Amino acid sequence: MDYKDYLPIFLDESRENLVQLNKLLLELEPDPDNKELLNEIFRIAHTIKGMSATMGFNNMATLTHNMENILDDLRKGKLKADRDIINLLFFSFDALEKGLELISTSGTDDSPLLKEAIERFSGREKIVESKPIPKETTPSRIILDQYNMLVIKDAIQKGFNAYEIHVKLRENTVLKSVRAYMVFKVLEEKGEIIYSKPSTTDLENEKFDLDFTVVFITKETEEIIKRLILQISEIDSVDIISIPIEEGLEAQRVEKISKPQETTIEKEGSRTLSKMGQTIRIDVERLDELMNLVGELVIQRTRLAQIREFDSTTDELARITNELQNLVMKVRMIPIEQVFNRFPRMVRDLSQESGKKVRLEIYGADTELDKTVVDAMGDPLMHLIRNAIDHGIESPEERVKLGKPEEGLIKLSAYHEGNNIYIEVEDDGGGINVDKVKRKAIERGLVAEETANRMSEEDIYNLLFIPGFSTSEKVTDISGRGVGMDVVKRRVEELNGTIRIESKLGKGTKVIIRLPLTLAIIQSLLVKASEEIFAIPLSNIEEIVRLEESDIKTVKNVEVLYSRGRVIPLYRLSEVLGLTSKNMCNFAVIVRTAGKQIGIAVDSLIGEEEIVIKSIDKMVNLNRNFVGATILGNGKVALILDVNTLASM
């Protein structure tokens, strides 16, 4: 078998299974006797084993086989899930994850960590010995409710046949859900499935072992149905039992009548079989291409809107493009849970490593945002959580002395607000010592003492984002090397987001990240400077004020704007960009970024417009003050300002 054609599917399926496995192992640790958890973990290990063996990845297959055996002993009560076994299972999980990474890059599972994990099982002869294949058993009959029996009775009276079909897949079948789908597809061409056990949802998600049963109504004979199913590869056996009308009538006499709403639910559940196979994976590059085409459509819509004679046409075009745009964006949206799920395990390991007791609480994991943003936020959030454990949370002894619970708390949350998503990492540790940060900054020559004494708390917190800055007295394996916070800030700003810190000494620290829902199409304000048009992302703008020369002052050779009792640094856009301008700056656009406000003085305002962000080729030698460009409705190109770099001037 040439597995290369199936490798992307194998990798995707295995990653999904490992995410679930990690979650279940974390749940098992405090509840080691939970049979449901053990059964589910066993099922996942069995699935990975079968897929790996089929693809020829023997190290992964061997390790998961060993995991299966130990899990089977745990299920039967022969072993106790003590700390050593839990740690062995976690180590096996890490080995599987590393093995999968190696497969994705090199096509082989020849991973030292996988081999080490297999070796750790080798001392347990009972675990690694082969288990006998269970003898075939006659499938048990399923019990149908009154609604389904009425359907069967009606069908039989109209000349149809009703069958109970039990399908068993071969041992080590790869992609069981696909085989189940193929069975359903073949059957639905010849009749109607009215019931399945397990449910179609469980079959789609591979929440079954090797067999499933359906109730099928058709005019075909048993022989034809059996032959059609057996033509599908990896089918081990098919048992078909004819359901006589007498059985249906008997069931009606003895079974309690379902409530009307229960009947409706069953009816809907039994008719959802057409949904099987409707969920597909889409390559991100194809989504990007689709988004680019939608972007071009938005641009053309804007151009058409400028032609007044076509008002009714452009209104309809606007409606269609808006719906298409929203649909494409929804396709790209995924829950941030995919990132959040990796942190409970990390917190567990770091807690043990640091000798601290830490509990992680997660809120809003189902919050959705653009896949590009989700993928990019993994490392920044990891740095923040590591810092919270190392710098924020005190030791159990210290916490008791301070009147706090022994166990520290980290809250990781996400929520929507307008067109932005907010991600917060909050701990109940010692908080940030402002004086200590200030002293370190002065010692390192990052800021003059006089300047530091005038800085607000927010400005002092922002010193933590300077590359190499750290208040740690010693370097640990967790953090303290002066790396992390600058990486977080840079990554957030690359995503056109902002980050700020709130802290109370002795109470804890909260890091708040604001990000756009999508990076492809944004709302912006178009402004003019020196007869050139520029776009400013609306998410960065706090307010717009009309400029009077009397409002502009000079402090230490720097222009500032006095507005409502505030002193705001002011930058004339034409001067910043090296443009010659004879026009008066009539407006100041007040933006907030990097924890502070600045004013951008522009000649005039054009208005709000939805723009499509286009990246700029690296070959183009462009000022660093721009994040990209966009094509306006008149066909001209406008550059999009990077307010973060303006704020750092």
Residue numbers annotated as active site: 46, 68, 387
What is the rounded CA–CA span in Å between residue 466 and residue 400? 33
Question: In this structure, are residues 607 and 525 in contact, taking their beta carbons and an 8 Å threshold?
Answer: yes
Q: Which candidate, 137, 133, 161, places its Cα nearest to that of 220?
A: 161
Q: Which candidate, 541, 305, 565, 271, places its Cα nearest to that of 420?
A: 541
Q: Which candidate, 68, 57, 83, places its Cα nearest to that of 4?
A: 57
Helix (H) / strand (E) containing 372: helix 371-376
What is the rounded CA–CA span in Å between residue 463 and residue 282? 42
DSSP one-letter code for 388: I
> What six digits make up the tokens of 125?
């002869």
Q: What type of residue sits at position 288?
A: D
> What six digits make up the tokens of 455?
């800085």
Tokens 């690359």 locate to 494
Q: Which candidate, 38, 50, 111, 37, places its Cα nearest to that of 75?
A: 38
What is the rounded CA–CA span in Å between residue 246 and residue 42? 41
Q: Which candidate, 300, 316, 414, places its Cα nearest to that of 362?
A: 414
Query: How many degrees, rounded to 5, is the angle at CA 647 between CA 642 and CA 649?
Result: 105
Query: How many degrees, rounded to 5, is the angle at CA 245 between CA 239 and CA 248?
Result: 85
Q: How many residues belong to the chain?
A: 649
